[in-house]
Structure 1
Amino acid sequence: MARASTQTHHREAFGSRNVFILSAIGSAVGLGNIWRFPYVAYEGGGGAFLIPYLCALLTAGIPLLFFDYAIGHRFRGSAPLAFRRMNRVAEPLGWWQVLICVVIATYYAVIIAWAAMYTWFSARISWGTGNEQDFFFKDFLQMGDASTGVSTQFVPQVGLPLIVVWLVVIAIMALGVKRGIGRANLVLMPLLTVMFAALVVQALFLPGAAEGLNAFFAPNWAALADPAVWASAYGHIFFSLSVAFGIMVTYASYLKRKTDLTGSGLVVAFANSGFEILAGIGVFAALGFMAQQAGTDVSHVATAGIGLAFVAFPTIVAQAAGGSIIGVLFFGALVFAGITSLISVLEVIVAALQDKLGWGRVRTTLIVSVPIALISIALFSTTTALFVLDTADAFVNSFGIMAVALVAVIVVAWILHQLPVLREHLNRRSSFRIGWIWMLLVGALAPIVLGYLFVSELIAKISTPYGDYPIWFIAIFGWGMVIALVVFAVLLALVPWSPRSHAKDDPDYDEFLGVEGYDPDPETGTVAVPDGPSRGARA
Structure 2
Amino acid sequence: MTNDTSTTTTTKANASYDQSNCKKRESWHSNGDVTGDAGPDPGGDGDTDPNSNDRAKETTALNPKGAHLGGNKERALVVTLTGERRRETWSQKTEFLLAVIGFAVDLGNVWRFPYICYQNGGGAFLIPYCIMLLFGGLPLFYMELALGQFHRCGCLTIWKRICPALKGVGYAICLIDIYMGMYYNTIIGWAVYYLFASFNTELPWTKCDNVWNTDACTPITAMAGYNTSVLNGTTGFINGTVELLGNMTTTLVSSLVGGVELEMVRTSPAKEFFERQVLEQYKSDGLDYMGPVKPSLALCVFGVFVLVYFALWKGVKSAGKAVWVTALAPYVVLLILLARGVTLPGAAEGIRYYLTPEWHKLKNSKVWIDAASQIFFSLGPGFGTLLALSSYNKFNNNCYRDALVTSSINCLTSFLAGFVIFSVLGYMAHVQDKSIEDVGLEGPGLVFIVYPEAIAMMKGSIFWSIIFFLMLITLGLDSTFGGLEAMITALCDEYPRALGRRRELFVLLLLVLIYICALPTMTYGGVYLVNFLNVYGPGLAILFVVFVEAAGVFWFYGVENFSSDIEQMLGKKPSLFWRICWKYISPTFLFCILIFSLLGYEGMLEGEYKYPEWSVAAGWVLTLSSVLCIPLYVIYKFMKSHGSFTSRLRQTFKPEPLIPTVVPGQIYTGTAV
Task: Give yes or no for TM over 0.5.
Answer: yes
Which residue does the alignment assign to 2:386? Answer: 248
Q: CA deviation at 1:192?
A: 2.0
Counterparts of 1:272 and 1:103 in 2: how far apart (Å)? 24
Secondary structure in structure 2 of the residue aligned to 1:255: coil
Deviation at 1:152, TM superposition (A): 4.6
Per-residue deviation, 1:122: 3.3
User: Residues 486-501 of structure 1: matches in 2 within 5 Å?
Assistant: 486-488=627-629
Equivalent pairs counted in the alignment come to 506
Q: 1:284 to 1:252 in 2, by over 3 A?
A: same
Match of 1:450 among 566, 572, 590: 590
* 2:515 corresponding residue in structure 1: 373
Cα deviation for residue 436 of structure 1 reads 2.4
TM-aligned CA deviation for residue 55 of structure 1:
0.8
- Structure 2 residue aligned with 1:27: 103
Indicate conservation of the 8 Å contact 2:286/2:525, yes or no: no
Report if the CA contact (8 A) 2:293-2:524 is conserved: yes
Find the aligned partners of 2:302 and 2:510 in 1 and give their Cα distance. 16
Residue 198 of structure 1 corresponds to 336
User: Where does residue 191 of structure 2 map in the other structure?
Assistant: 115
Whether contact under 8 Å (1:66, 1:262) holds in the other structure is: yes
AA of the residue aligned to 1:474: V
Unaligned runs of 5+ in 2: 1-23, 27-39, 42-53, 56-83, 208-218, 220-268, 638-657
Residues in 1 aligned to 2:662 and 2:153: alpha-carbon distance in whole angstroms: 13
The separation in 2 between residues aligned to 1:24 and 1:470, in whole angstroms, is 39
* Contact map agreement 1:71 1:83 (CA 8 A) in 2: no
Partner of 2:175: 99
Describe the shift of the 1:148–1:70 C-alpha distance in structure 2 as closer, same or farther (beyond 3 A).
Answer: closer
Secondary structure at the counterpart of residue 628 of structure 2: helix
Is the 8 Å Cα contact of residues 97 and 246 (structure 1) preserved in structure 2? yes
Aligned to 1:346: 484
Alignment partners' CA distance in 2, 1:23 and 1:385: 30
Match of 1:128 in 2: 206
Contact 1:13-1:255 within 8 A present in 2 as well: yes
Post-superposition offset of 1:150: 4.9
**CA displacement at 1:322 relative to structure 2:** 2.8
RMSD over aligned Cα, in angstroms?
2.5
2:544 alignment partner, one of 403, 407, 411: 403
Compute the displacement of 1:96 (Å). 1.3
2:151 to 75, 83, 92: 75
5+ residue gaps, structure 1: 496-508, 519-526, 530-534
Larger radius of gyration: 2
Aligned counterpart for 1:176 among listed residues 312, 315, 318: 315
Taking the aligned partners of 1:22 and 1:433, their CA distance within structure 2 comes to 26
Q: How far apart are the structure 2 equivalents of 1:313 and 1:432?
A: 48
CA distance in 2, matches of 1:267, 1:201: 25
Residue pair 1:23, 1:185 contacting (<8 A) in 2 also? yes
Q: 1:269 aligns with which of 392, 402, 407?
A: 407
Q: TM-score under structure 2 normalisation?
A: 0.71
Deviations 1:114-169 (A, max 9, x none): 11221232343111243111111112101144556253512122111111111111
Relative to structure 1, is the Cα distance of residues 433 and 320 closer, same or farther in structure 2, using a 3 angstrom cutoff? farther
**Aligned match of 1:325:** 463
Amino acid at match of 1:38: P
Q: Which deviates further from its counterpart, 307-316 or 318-327?
A: 318-327
In percent, how many aligned pairs have the same letter? 27
Q: Which amino acid aligns with 1:34?
A: V
SS in 2 for 1:418: helix
Q: Describe the SS at the equivalent of 1:516.
A: coil
Deviations 1:282-322 (A, max 9, x none): 01101111111110111212411111011101111122223
Amino acid at match of 1:277: F
Partner of 1:40: 116
1:148–1:250 distance in 2 versus 1, CA, 3 Å:
closer
Residue 356 of structure 1: how far off its partner (Å): 1.8
Maintained 8 Å contact 1:213/1:284 = yes
Q: Could you tell me how far apart the structure 1 residues matched to 2:390 and 2:115 are?
A: 31
CA change 1:297–1:16 in 2 (3 A) is same
Normalized per residue, the structure richer in strand is 2
What one-letter code is carried by the residue in structure 2 that aligns with 1:210?
Answer: A
Given that 1:25 and 1:272 are in contact with CA atoms closer than 8 Å, whether structure 2 keeps it comes out as yes
Q: Does 2:204 align with 1:66?
A: no
Matched position secondary structure for 1:290: helix
Q: Conserved in 2, the CA contact under 8 Å of 1:466 and 1:474?
A: no
Shift of 1:375: 1.2
Name the aligned partner's letter for residue 387 of structure 1: Y
Letter in 2 for 1:398: G
Q: Distance in 2 between matches of 1:481 and 1:512?
A: 43
Give matches, 1:386-465, under 5 Å.
Answer: 386-414=527-555, 416-430=556-570, 434-462=574-602
Distance 1:489-1:355 versus aligned 2 partners, 3 A rule: farther
In the alignment, residue 82 of structure 1 is paired with which amino acid? I
Amino acid at match of 1:396: G
**AA matched with 1:245:** F
Conserved 8 A contact 1:260-1:431: no
Contact 2:169 2:629 in 1 (8 A): no
What is the CA–CA distance in structure 2 between the aligned matches of 1:249 and 1:64, rounded to whole Å?
Answer: 11
* Correspondence 1:485 to 2:626: yes
Per-residue deviation, residues 192-217 of structure 1 (Å, max 9, x unmatched): 22122111111111111101100111
- CA positional deviation for 1:490: 6.0
Inter-partner Cα distance in structure 1 for 2:308 and 2:185: 9
Structure 1 position 379, deviation (Å)? 1.7
Question: 1:177 offset after TM fit, Å?
Answer: 1.0
Question: Please, which moves more after superposition, 66-75 or 418-427?
Answer: 418-427
Partner SS state of residue 254, structure 1: coil
Given that 1:112 and 1:338 are in contact with CA atoms closer than 8 Å, whether structure 2 keeps it comes out as: yes
TM-score (normalised: structure 1): 0.88
CA contact (8 A) 2:286 2:528 kept: no
- TM alignment of 1:155-174, pairs within 5 A: 155-174=294-313
Q: Distance in 2 between matches of 1:23 and 1:300?
A: 37
- Residues 37 and 276, structure 1, Cα contact 8 Å, conserved in 2: yes
Structure 1 position 474, deviation (Å): 2.4
| Distance (whole Å) between structure 2 residues aligned to residue 284 and residue 309 of structure 1 | 12
- Judge conservation of contact 2:106–2:479 (CA < 8 Å) in 1: yes
- Indicate how the Cα distance of structure 1 residues 300 and 516 shifts in structure 2: closer, same or farther if over 3 A, else same: farther
Give per-residue Cα distances to partners, 1:400-434, cap 9 Å, x unaligned: 221111121122222x1432222233344449963
Does the 8 Å contact 2:150/2:565 carry over to 1?
Answer: yes
**SS of equivalent to 2:274:** helix
Please name the residue that 2:33 is paired with: none
CA distance in 2, matches of 1:185, 1:455: 36
Rounded to whole Å, the distance in 2 between the matches of 1:146 and 1:113 is 22
325 and 351 in structure 1: CA distance in 2 versus 1, 3 angstrom threshold: same
Would the aligned equivalents of 1:257 and 1:512 in 2 still touch at CA under 8 Å? no
SS at match of 1:369: helix
1:254-292 deviation line (CA, Å, top 9, x unaligned): 101110010011110111112111111101101111111
Distance 1:492 1:253 in 2: 24
> 1:489: how far off?
5.7
Q: Indicate yes or no: 2:611 matched with 1:469.
A: yes
Flag the 1:155–1:431 CA change in 2: closer, same or farther, 3 A: farther
Give, in whole Å, the separation in 2 of the partners of 1:239 and 1:463: 18
Q: CA deviation at 1:463?
A: 7.9
